[in-house]
Amino acid sequence: MKNKKIVLGSILTLLVAFIAVTYFYKNKQTQEYNALLEKKAQFLQRDYSIVEGNKDAKVQLVEFFDPACGTCAQFYPYVKELMKKNDGKIKLVLRYAAFHENSDFAVRVLEAARKQDKFFEVLEFMFSTQQYWIDHHVVNPKKLIAILPKSGVDMEKLANHINDEETTKILQQDLADAKELKVTQTPEYFVNGKPLEKFGLQELIDLVNSEL
């Protein structure tokens, strides 16, 4: 009887130890996973990032884009429609990935327009007029400046901000974050931190719907 009690006591001790070790391991895994998510979150959205829609939305849709990217221009209306259909449930975070030659100039135009609260007006204007200021995938700054007055932006104010050091830092940080997230082309989408594995409109819609 005494031996049975000793055996049962040993088993109970081992069981308690096993539960404790398992809990500790799982808790450590959870902490590491949360830390990884938090680290990734900073790569997806910065304090200065352009955000459209409900900031507390259930779904965070991050798009790395290039103003000179034709596919970005094509997808933009669909992204707007997706947000409209899910009003208040999606926030769009726009990040720069100026991969085309001279695209940094186009980004500077957008950031200067942002100072006038005309970011989206100028973005849509630039997307709709790409054929007039892009030559063989290369941004032509002179041609872009020539047509910009038609966007309604104040050209004098724009000139005052187009070379801001703040924009240089934004360009550098967005490019660094794109590299961390392995962004190699535009547009590149992340939905609640999940990358769009297979590029396509329906694939994007499906990924967003899976998070709603």
| pLDDT tens over the chain, length 212 residues | 656 666 665 676 667 666 765 555 544 443 433 444 556 889 999 999 999 999 999 999 999 999 999 999 999 999 999 999 999 999 999 999 999 999 999 999 999 999 999 999 999 999 999 999 999 999 999 999 999 999 999 999 999 999 999 999 999 999 999 999 999 999 999 999 999 999 999 999 999 999 99
Looking at residue 17, its pLDDT comes to 60
Rounded to whole angstroms, the Cα distance separating 186 from 99 reads 8
Q: How much is the pLDDT for 51?
A: 97
pLDDT at 114 (0 to 100): 98
Q: What is the CA radius of gyration of the chain?
A: 24
